[in-house]
Structure 1
Amino acid sequence: MFAIPLQARDGETAELRPLEPWQAEEFLTHVDRGRDFIGRYIGFADAAKDLEGARALLQKYADRQAADGGRIFGIWLDGTLVGGVLFVSVDAVTGTAEAGCWLEPAAVGRGLVTQAARILVDWAVDVRGIHRVEWVAASVNTASVNVARRLGMRRDGLLRESFVHRGERYDMEVWSVLAPEWREVRAGRAATED
């Protein structure tokens, strides 16, 4: 198994690692800690209500990974699972992938999701040859929309009331970055870090 270090803003130890079905109990404990916060805009909290549901959700992503159709990774802060990033879908034939994220409240504001998402986009573009990485978020989910902005993505459009979650309809924003744009964004970021 691999672990990629992340820089927490407060100097704590953080890392990005695969999240697998055998970690269902840890995943459920994490979701329970942030259930209301996590579940505001995404279905994880509703899908992982118990150990069976948590295991099924992680197995779904293990199956997607085996079929080259998606992946899920956890973010650990000082050894505790606090969130993650994922490829909701990967279509290698069309060269398109949809990325996303989630966090529990204790991990918000530390820059962990943005770092982890950059690692995912780097992998998609450089290793898998993905041409277009998308980010889809409810318009009211400003934290997620801001991650797309920090990644250097462009807003493609708005899907009005296209997503129903917990009985409410949400406008969904579609953001994306194309492989050539990503390489430019990354080069610009590297130049400012030097």
Structure 2
Amino acid sequence: MFATPLETADGRRAELCPLEPWQAAEFLAHMDRGREYVGRHIGLPDAAGDLAAARAFLQSYADKQAADSGRIFGIRLDGTLVGGVLFRLFDAGAGTCEVGCWLEPSAVGRGLVTRAAGILIDWAVEERGIHRIEWVVSSENTPSVKVAERLGMRRDGVLRQASSHRGVRKDLEVWSVLAPEWREHRAGA
């Protein structure tokens, strides 16, 4: 399997690598470790409640990758799956995509999501010609909002009560970066 190294401030070994259906048991164990924390803002833990559901979720992304409409990657810290990033939506023809993320508590505060999402954005812009990258986040998810800011994104607006998560209506913020802005941000980093 291939992996892309991710730097950590504390010198630990971290990497970004594809997540595939055959890794469903590992993915489920990771979700179980972070289920409460990850589930505060996103439905991913609810979509991967057991082994069959975890496999189906990863298979949906394998199907998206085959159709060139999405991809999913895991973040490993010292060899253990601790989070991930994904292209939730990917439309090369329209030149747009949406990047998303999640992380279990043991890996928070190391910059892993920011670095991993930056790799995805760089690939989307430079290899695939994507012009607009979006980041959609619950207004209550301050850590994810801060990632969008660190990635040089701008807040486009708030979709009031646009999402229902575990029976509660939530505001969603839409953040974005355009290809020229990304190149400028990356050059200044």
TM-score bracket relative to the smaller structure: over 0.9
TM-score (norm 1): 0.96
What is the rounded CA distance, in whole Å, between the counterparts of 1:10 and 1:48 in structure 2? 31
Same amino acid, percent of matched pairs: 71
Q: What root-mean-square deviation, in Å, do the aligned CA atoms of Structure 1 and Structure 2 show?
A: 0.6
Q: Does 1:88 align with 2:84?
A: no
SS in 1 for 2:134: strand
What is the rounded CA distance, in whole Å, between the counterparts of 1:102 and 1:157 in structure 2? 22
What is the rounded CA distance, in whole Å, between the counterparts of 1:2 and 1:132 in structure 2? 27
1:157 paired residue number: 157
What is the rounded CA distance, in whole Å, between the counterparts of 2:46 and 2:84 in structure 1? 17
TM-score (norm 2): 0.99
1:188 paired residue number: 188
Deviation at 1:9, TM superposition (A): 2.0
SS in 2 for 1:140: coil
Which amino acid letter does the alignment assign opposite residue 143 of structure 1?
P
Which amino acid letter does the alignment assign opposite residue 114 of structure 1?
T
What is the rounded CA distance, in whole Å, between the counterparts of 1:18 and 1:130 in structure 2? 20
2:61 paired residue number: 61
Aligned residues: 189
Q: Does 1:76 align with 2:71?
A: no
Deviation at 1:134, TM superposition (A): 0.2
Which amino acid letter does the alignment assign opposite residue 171 of structure 1?
D
Q: Does 1:33 align with 2:33?
A: yes
Q: Extract unaligned runs of 5+ from structure 2.
A: none
Q: Extract unaligned runs of 5+ from structure 1.
A: 190-194
Which amino acid letter does the alignment assign opposite residue 129 of structure 2?
G
1:192 paired residue number: none
Which amino acid letter does the alignment assign opposite residue 79 of structure 1?
G
